[in-house]
């Protein structure tokens, strides 16, 4: 005689009770393990036509994703979405910067003409040298370089560069296609402290021996996210205004693999018209619509032709949309509901917001998302824009919501449909986060924790997790406040928390 057990809830039952659940509100019950952790595959799709090795996307926020972050994300097998709080030409330049590299190291080379002077460029500690070209731009013949030590030893700081620069020779540069191992070997062979990456006579970057040694110390980086053009994949955010059609043109010419329509509430005539325009004008370009949190919102954007959906409204740590506007949804419920309808059309879902730890990533992916978009999780890292400051003995970096008044002054009020409003209402705040180190170390360890979570669920892949959930094999429960306390660190006088 077989005895049937009723243990936990199926997702369909749990999420149809009229409650708005966050990730911390729910917990999955463990399933059966018959495979090792290394058997878990986290490969996935950002959108219909963009495959990724890991389900990680950096958010298009001006304190999270610019070219440095996007390059590192691509190197790890994820993808970065460059924010649009800048002129279209500047954003397109960042896209080109990412796609013109093969190592997750970016610097900002300073170019000068022979007759110019340095002034104060060496105030930037990351600069190993200033490069001297015929015209003072990257697209010009390289003549020489000036080390910081050379400039500091000068008695006449106003001297022309041509008078004391070191002449460039054939050993100073290598092709842009060199990977980290090749650059490392070349630096050792030539006994150099730095080398230039060059393509078609144009200097793209300055790679120092110190930076190579730093990156070598992180977990091994694989092939990364490489497109059909053989270059790293990168996405970019756009708005829904008429002027954004020009922005899209810039981004397509720069080689962007996808555009993300950046709106806090994506179910609008403006977004639907923009999706229609892009799919008609650039059919090869993947478009990710959003943000959405309901099935009806999702269905409208899918019908318009969206290749992916961004899910989340007011769930970010610096977002106040739910508080200010009284709209939104708990992120766990939103991801499950939208994924349920999107799966029927084969449209991948990006779970955007609310990610504070690896457990949240496991929950988002298992509930139906194909990727997670991270802002605060990556903010404060080495690759995030901004400079470090010190507060109470900690290194910190600024992190602000795109709905904050500070960000809106740069143009982000478009995403809240408020750029034409006379009165600006904030839907985000400005804060700071503690230094997290490099994402080249943070994300590999985080992905290993996610794999262990999938193993406990008995899922060898994202698709396997989705199938187990929809077949009602995976069960869930709601956690009480006491259960959430019990499931975290408690009962200690003091402790030191290290994730890895």
Residues annotated in a binding site: 262-264, 312-314, 316-317, 319, 352-354, 375-376, 399-403, 427
CA dihedral 455, 461, 465, 466 (to 10 degrees): 170
Q: Pick the closest to residue 389 from 430, 441, 432 (CA basis).
A: 432
DSSP 166: E
Q: Pick the closest to residue 164 from 140, 190, 143, 194 (CA basis).
A: 143
Kindly report the number of other CB atoms within 10 A of residue 391's CB atom: 9
Q: Pick the closest to residue 397 from 436, 428, 440 (CA basis).
A: 436
Catalytic residue of the set 102, 310, 329, 415: 415
Question: Annotated binding residues for K(+), as ranges?
Answer: 314, 316, 319
DSSP for 95-147 reads HHHHHT-SSS------EE-TT---TTGGGSTT-SEEEEESSSSSSS-EEEEEE
DSSP for 277-315 reads HHHHH-TTSEEEEEEE-SHHHHHHHHHHT-SEEEE-SS-
Question: Annotated binding residues for IMP, as ranges?
Answer: 317, 352-354, 375-376, 399-403, 427
Question: Annotated binding residues for NAD(+), as ranges?
Answer: 262-264, 312-314
Q: Is the dihedral of CA 58, 62, 63, 65 positive or negative?
A: positive
Do 103 and 215 contact (CB within 8 A), yes or no?
Answer: yes
Phi-psi domain of 368 (left: phi exceeds 0; alpha: psi -120 through 50; beta: other)? left
How many Å apart are CA 189 and CA 183, to the nearest integer? 10
Q: Pick the closest to residue 356 from 379, 385, 384, 325 (CA basis).
A: 379
In DSSP terms, 159 is beta-bridged to none
Catalytic residue status for 56 = no
Catalytic residue of the set 129, 247, 319, 329: 319
In DSSP terms, 9 is beta-bridged to 476
Do 69 and 439 contact (CB within 8 A), yes or no?
Answer: yes
Secondary structure of residue 178 in the 3-state scheme: coil
In DSSP terms, 238 is beta-bridged to 261
Catalytic residue status for 415 = yes
- Close Cβ partners of 206 (under 8 Å, ≥ 6 residues apart): 107, 109, 127, 128, 129, 131, 194, 195, 196, 197
| Active site (catalytic) residues | 319, 415
């Amino acid at each position: 005689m077989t005895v049937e057990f009723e243990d936990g809830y199926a997702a369909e039952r749990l999420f149809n009770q009229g409650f708005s659940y966050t990730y911390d509100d729910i917990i999955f019950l463990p399933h059966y393990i018959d495979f090792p952790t290394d058997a878990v595959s986290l490969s996935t799709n950002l959108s219909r036509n963009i495959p990724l090795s890991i389900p990680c996307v950096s958010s298009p926020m001006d304190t999270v994703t610019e070219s440095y972050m996007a390059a590192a994300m691509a190197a790890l097998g994820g993808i970065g979405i460059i924010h649009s709080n800048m002129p279209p030409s500047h954003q397109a330049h960042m896209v080109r910067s990412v796609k013109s590299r093969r190592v997750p190291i970016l610097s900002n080379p300073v170019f000068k003409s022979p007759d110019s002077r340095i002034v104060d460029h060496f105030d930037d500690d990351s600069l190993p040298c200033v490069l001297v070209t015929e015209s003072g731009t990257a697209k010009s013949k390289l003549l020489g370089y000036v080390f910081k030590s050379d400039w500091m030893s000068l008695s006449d700081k106003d001297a022309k560069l041509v008078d004391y620069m070191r002449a460039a020779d054939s050993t100073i540069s290598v092709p842009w296609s060199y990977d980290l191992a090749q650059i490392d070997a070349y630096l050792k062979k030539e006994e150099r402290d730095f080398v230039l990456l060059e393509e078609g006579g144009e200097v793209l970057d300055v790679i120092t021996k110190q930076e190579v040694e730093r990156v070598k110390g992180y977990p091994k980086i694989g092939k990364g996210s490489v497109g059909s053009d053989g270059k790293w994949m990168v996405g970019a955010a756009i708005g829904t205004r008429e002027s954004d059609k020009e922005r899209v043109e810039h981004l397509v010419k720069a080689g962007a693999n996808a555009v993300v329509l950046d709106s806090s509430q994506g179910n609008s005539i403006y977004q639907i018209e923009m999706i229609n325009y892009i799919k008609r004008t650039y059919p090869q370009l993947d478009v990710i619509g959003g943000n959405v949190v309901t099935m009806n919102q999702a269905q409208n954007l899918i019908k318009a032709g969206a290749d992916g959906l961004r899910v989340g409204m007011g769930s970010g740590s610096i977002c106040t949309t739910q508080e200010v506007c009284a709209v939104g949804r708990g992120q766990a419920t939103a991801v499950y509901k939208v994924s349920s309808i999107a799966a029927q059309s084969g449209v991948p879902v990006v779970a955007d917001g609310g990610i504070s730890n690896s457990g949240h990533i496991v929950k988002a992916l298992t509930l139906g998302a194909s990727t997670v978009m991270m802002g605060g999780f990556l903010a404060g890292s080495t690759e995030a824009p901004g400079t470090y400051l010190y507060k109470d003995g900690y290194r910190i970096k600024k992190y602000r919501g795109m709905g904050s008044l500070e960000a809106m002054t740069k143009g982000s009020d478009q995403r809240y449909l408020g750029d034409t409003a006379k009165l600006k209402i904030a839907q985000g705040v400005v804060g700071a986060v503690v230094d997290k180190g490099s994402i080249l170390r943070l994300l590999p360890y985080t992905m290993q924790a996610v794999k262990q979570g999938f193993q406990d669920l008995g899922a060898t892949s994202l698709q396997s997790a989705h199938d187990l959930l929809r077949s009602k094999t995976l069960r869930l429960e709601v956690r009480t406040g006491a259960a959430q306390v019990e499931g975290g660190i408690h009962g200690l006088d003091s402790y030191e928390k290290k994730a890895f």
